[in-house]
Amino acid sequence: MMAKRVKRGVKRAFQALANQWPFIKYIIRRSIVLFIVLIAVMLSLILIAGGFGIMDRIQRLQIHRDVLDMIRANPNSGRWTSEERQAFISNMTALLEKARGLDQPFYTRTFGYLYQVLVWDFGQAQTLTSSSGSSLVRDMIIERLPRTILLFTTATLISAFIGIAVALVVARKPLSILDRATSTFAVVTNSIPWWWFGMLMIILFSFYLKLLPSGGYVSVPAPEGSLALPLDILKHMTLPTLTIVLVSFGGWAYVVRSILLDVFQQDFILFARAKGLKERVVMYRHALRAAMPPVVTMLLFSIVGSLGGAIITETIFDWQGMGMLFYQAISLQDLPVLVALTFVSAFLTIVVILLLDIIYAFLDPRVRTAPVAA
């Protein structure tokens, strides 16, 4: 009895899986393609950096560090003469370089580097450290990444939300004064760099009005308590978030309005209206739902895209995220961190594009059932 039920359950599960087969096939195919792209991107970066000797220089820096650590760890090293010390350094360095294959031409190490990059093994930074004191580049990135995601996801979600709300209003009366004003506002704000606007916002809100802190992630020293800390972070987040929202919600309104107007032309909207449904119901149940897939795609794309824009925006607001780490790595000429950040950015972009494909296919059945073009 029991076994039969299990058997039936399994069968049903298989059946469900088989029904979803086009979807799964689609995901697998996209994953393979994007994995190949990922490898190609990483390989080309390694080859470019390696061609300039950057990858090897990072290795040598690491070896130098290790050798100095060895000397420090050796209890006898205090009694060494400077010649002995020098000899130890050069012997050990030569040994380690040989062990890592640095005496061979660069391209022989390409796949070794590729493996390291794919498992996020970026070694130690030259000067930068994480706030917990670790000089491992991976620790630094893992510490910074959530902050970047926190700020930019929040800001993007708010802008998208306001933008959609505005679009719902203006799309009802296309070419009205309000609609034209929104379009003009969108065109103007679209050509304003976030970071520049951020500088102006700091001048206005923190220099003249003294309302908000000009930058930082938390106050120094950070307040303690389960409520005080999030509130403090929130206070520091306000100005950058406000900046991003003010500059980008117009663009959202403009694009969503165009999508909505497109949807309004469709027969099913005409039909819904003909049925005598209330305008509200037509708007939210029918039009907005049909407009959702492209909007969600845009949302995810702009979150990923904002990671690139984060570099300067975070620097302006002294927001200790991944973008600012980029800036610090550039100004301190910290090679391992810079190289690692480039790889991580490419890595994240490709992974998110894969996620996007999956979500899109999930939202829009046409994508996964359509015959796939070459």
Partner 1 sequence: MKKKAISGLRGERYRGIREFLKEFRRSRSGVLGLAMILAFAVISAYATVRYPYSEVIKWNEPRLWKENPTNVPPTWIQTIVNKALPETATYVAPENTKANLTYRGATSIITTVDHLLSFRYSYGETPTNVIVSFKVQYNKSSPSVILTWIKPDGTNIELVSFILERGVVGPPYFITNDLFPLYDDQIKRNLAAFLRTAFNLTQAGELESNMVLKVLFGTNQSIISSGPVEVLKGSYRLRLSFQSFNLVSDFPSSNPVDDIQTFKMVLTGKVYGAMGTDDKGRDLFIGILWGAPIALLIGLLTSVISVAIGVFLGIFSGFYGGTVDNAIQRVTDYFLILPVLPLLIFLSFILGTTGGRSIWVLIVLLSVFGWPGITKVVRSLALQIRESGYVEAARALGASNFSVLLRHLLPQTLPYAFANIALSVPGVIFAEASLSFLNLGDPVLPTWGKILGDAQMGGAAVAGYWWWVLIPGLCIILVAMSFALLGNALDRILTPRLRKR
- Residue carrying the six token digits 């029991």: 2
Options 19-27, 63-71, 183-191, 264-272: segment touching partner 1 (CB under 8 A):
183-191
Instruction: Decide whether 168 or 312 has the Cβ nearer to partner 1.
Output: 312
Q: Which of 29, 33, 17 is nearest to 350 (CA)?
A: 33
Residue with structure tokens 């029904």? 19
Q: What single-letter amino acid sits at 103? A: D
Identity of the residue, 99 or 351, whose beta carbon is nearer to partner 1 in the bound complex: 351
Amino acid at position 179, single letter: D
Mark 193-232 with x for binding to partner 1 (rule: CB under 8 A) and - for no binding: x-xx-xxx-xx--xxx-----xx-----------------
Min CB(48)–partner 1 separation in Å: 7
Q: Label residues 205-244 b or e (16+ Cβ within 10 Å = b).
A: beeeeeebbbbbbbeeeeeeeeeeeeebbeebbebbbbbb
The yes or no reply on residue 351 touching partner 1 (CB under 8 A) is no
Residue 263 or 341 with smaller CB distance to partner 1: 341
Residue 145 structure tokens: 């990444």
Q: Which of 6, 13, 187, 211 binds partner 1 (CB under 8 A)?
A: 187
Work out the widest C-alpha separation in the chain, in whole angstroms.
Answer: 96
* Eight-class DSSP state of 78: G
What token pair was written down for 343? 């790889």
- How crowded is residue 122: how many other Cβ atoms within 10 Å of its Cβ? 22
By CB under 8 A, what part of segment 106-145 binds partner 1? Answer: none
Q: How far is the CB of 133 from partner 1 (least distance, A)?
A: 26
d(Cα 24, Cα 71) in Å, to the nearest integer? 55
Mark residues 40-59: x for contact with partner 1 by CB under 8 A, - for none. Answer: xx---x--xx--x-x-----
Taking the CB of residue 335, how many other CB atoms lie within 10 A of it? 17
> Pattern of binders to partner 1 over 290-329, x per CB under 8 A?
-----------------xxx-xx--xx---------xx--
CA torsion angle for 371, 366, 350, 308 (degrees, to 10)? Answer: 140
Between CA 292 and CA 282 the distance in angstroms is 14
Q: How far is the CB of 161 from partner 1 (least distance, A)?
A: 25
User: What distance in Å separates the CA atoms of residue 24 and residue 251, rounded to the nearest whole number?
Assistant: 34
The C-alpha atoms of residue 306 and residue 176 are separated, in whole angstroms, by 32
CA distance 61 to 128: 14
Shortest Cβ distance from residue 348 to partner 1 (Å)? 8
In the chain, the amino acid numbered 214 is: S
Which of 89, 150, 157, 192 is close enough to bind partner 1 by CB under 8 A?
Answer: 192
| Cα dihedral sign, 75-76-81-82 | negative
34 or 277: whose CB is closer to partner 1?
34
Nearer to partner 1, 125 or 338 (CB): 338
Per-residue binding letters, 21-40, with partner 1 (x by CB under 8 A) = ----------------x--x
Cβ proximity to partner 1: between 59 and 345 the closer is: 345
- Please say which residue, 67 or 356, places its beta carbon nearer to partner 1: 356
In the complex, the smallest distance separating the C-beta of residue 84 from partner 1, rounded to whole angstroms, is 34
Interhelix angle for 228-264 vs 288-316, to 10°? 140
Which of 43, 47, 229, 330 is in the footprint of partner 1 by CB under 8 A?
330
By CB under 8 A, which span of 66-74, 166-174, 282-290, 343-351 interacts with partner 1?
343-351
Q: Which residues bind partner 1 (CB under 8 A)?
A: 37, 40-41, 45, 48-49, 52, 54, 187-188, 191-193, 195-196, 198-200, 202-203, 206-208, 214-215, 307-309, 311-312, 315-316, 326-327, 330-331, 338-339, 341-342, 345-346, 348-350, 353, 374
